[in-house]
Amino acid sequence: MKYTISHPTKKLVGTIYLTASKSESNRALIIQALCSEKFEIKNLATAQDTTILTHILNPQQPATNNQQLIDVGAAGTVMRFLTAYYSTKIGTHILTGSERMKKRPIGILVSALRELGAQIEYVEKEGFPPLKITGRALRGGEIEVDGNVSSQFVSALLLISPELQNGLVIKFKGDVTSRPYINMTLKMLEEFRVYGQWHEDSISVSKQNYHRKSEDDYEYKVEGDWSAASYWYAMAALSEEADLTILGLKHPSLQGDAILADVFTFFGIKTEYIADGIRITKNRIKDEHFGFDFSDCPDLAQTVAVVVSALNIPALFNGLHTLKIKETDRVEALKTELKKFGTEVEILNDNSIKINSLTTSNKQPITISTYEDHRMAMAFSAFAMKLDSITIEQPDVVKKSYPNFWNDLKSVGFIIKE
């Protein structure tokens, strides 16, 4: 299936009720499963990853023979969080996923958990899922990891830290990347009375217990997804005119991707914080060279790459080292797809790329391959604001994080044809 997307007026006006954050939802679900006191989660994400995690943690039928095969599909966060979670739960679980998931490394997390006392075996290839996890009480203690390790590995460990007999100390070697995602996890732990502390090059969490707040009607409300908001910022930046209200976002936010409000000032987008959301409008863009380090917000890289390409702005991107182990190798995917527009992506090293402005004016219809990656589909849709139309392959991949994306586009004037 393919979608051909166009916008007749190139004016972005209206109101969007933004999808909830799957990052925040998935953390809340693990905390809910570990907390002995019941509480409700309001505005839980409808993203496929969150739906998968919900079904796994709340099965319709209990496991048999003390062993359970659990398939997380393509949900990377779910694989990482459950690897840690099941390490603390009595019983044996075999954790597997899609073919792509079996190629996404998990050895760093498994090694860290083994140091804390976990019993985990590789079922197929060393360092990769599937995993056989025999849960038990973990002693905890101090571990050392590289600072540039995926924040999901660190968050997986922090989420189970209250379960560890001797607490947890994570010592980082080198600069810590994706720090905002780690801080999101720590803030959510604090919401449930578990307190961690940053030191100069480490985080420590003593043995504690999760507790919900004492209000009788307490419920945890998940914020809208700032990563999803980035696609609306991109469309606004490429539009002829924009006045869009996006509801469901907070200021300040737990999410590191909220920095996009600052990033997009470069592209002429003004953000006004209102009750229960934001209003974005378009001003004059800067036409100079753009440079940014995405270490703290790697999920924004594809969206901003589309914007600089469409606006003919040369750019240097740093902090991209985690993009190779996502749903696809996102750097190579960007290079291949942006070339269709005449944009050259030069891969400088594992961490950096240079994007050169359009070298040709391609007037032919363009079809974008999405590589089973939701962010490729949504980021490249913004080109509909610059071209007569853009065609997106495998449009249903958006269900991984933003199932209502295409309907939301239609609600503000986009035309979508199968």
According to DSSP H, which parts of 266-373 are helical?
Answer: 301-310, 330-339
Domain ranges for the chain = 2-20+224-417, 22-220
Strands 202-205, 196-198: pairing kind: antiparallel
Q: Is 270 a residue whose pLDDT tops 60?
A: yes
pLDDT per position as a tens digit, 254-264: 999 999 999 99
- Of 225, 299, 373, 408, catalytic: 299
What value does the mean pLDDT take over residues 162-179?
Answer: 93
Picking from 176, 165, 223, the residue whose alpha carbon sits closest to that of residue 198 is 176
Confidence of residue 321 (pLDDT cuts 50, 70, 90): confident
Question: Residue 399 class from Cβ within 10 Å (0-12 exposed, 13-18 middle, 19+ buried)?
Answer: middle
Confidence of residue 318 (pLDDT cuts 50, 70, 90): very high
Q: Angle at the Cα of 415 (from 282 to 376), degrees rounded to 5?
A: 70
Q: Is 226 a residue whose pLDDT tops 70?
A: yes
pLDDT at 390 (0 to 100): 97
Alpha-carbon span 264 to 324, nearest angstrom? 25
Alpha-carbon span 368 to 386, nearest angstrom? 15
pLDDT above 70 covers a percentage of the chain that reads: 96
In three-state secondary structure terms, 232 is helix
**CB-CB contact of 282 with 251 (8 Å):** no
Instruction: Write the DSSP symbol of residue 64.
Output: B
Q: Is residue 49 among the annotated active site residues? A: no
22-220: what fold? UDP-n-acetylglucosamine1-carboxyvinyl-transferase; Chain (3.65.10)
As a whole number, the mean pLDDT across the chain is 93
- Joined together, the tokens standing for residue 407 give 């309907």
Q: Is 404 a residue whose pLDDT tops 90?
A: yes
pLDDT at 327 (0 to 100): 61
- Joined together, the tokens standing for residue 1 give 């299936």
Token look-up 């991949």 returns: 397
pLDDT at 113 (0 to 100): 98
- Assigned CATH for 2-20+224-417: 3.65.10.10
Whether this model's pTM surpasses 0.85: yes
- Do the two domains 2-20+224-417 and 22-220 of this chain adopt the same fold? yes
Contacts 24+ apart (CB under 8 A), 137-140: 137/88, 137/163, 137/165, 138/87, 138/88, 138/113, 138/163, 138/164, 138/165, 139/164, 139/165, 139/166, 140/116, 140/164, 140/165, 140/166, 140/167, 140/168, 140/207
What value does the mean pLDDT take over residues 93-104?
Answer: 94
CB atoms within 10 A of CB 288: 9
**CB-CB contact of 18 with 246 (8 Å):** yes
pLDDT per position as a tens digit, 16-55: 999 999 999 999 999 999 999 999 999 999 999 999 999 9
409 φ, ψ (degrees, to nearest 5): -60, -45
What value does the mean pLDDT take over residues 399-409?
Answer: 97
Confidence of residue 364 (pLDDT cuts 50, 70, 90): confident
pLDDT at 63 (0 to 100): 52
In three-state secondary structure terms, 29 is helix
Confidence of residue 323 (pLDDT cuts 50, 70, 90): confident
Q: Is 360 a residue whose pLDDT tops 60?
A: no
Confidence of residue 358 (pLDDT cuts 50, 70, 90): low
If one compares 45 and 325, the residue with the highest pLDDT of the two is 45
Confidence of residue 359 (pLDDT cuts 50, 70, 90): low
Instruction: Write the DSSP symbol of residue 123.
Output: S
Q: Angle at the Cα of 286 (from 284 to 287), degrees rounded to 5?
A: 120
Alpha-carbon span 24 to 340, nearest angstrom? 35
- Residue 113 vs residues 91, 160, 196: alpha-carbon distances, Å: 16, 10, 18
In three-state secondary structure terms, 27 is helix
If one compares 360 and 76, the residue with the highest pLDDT of the two is 76
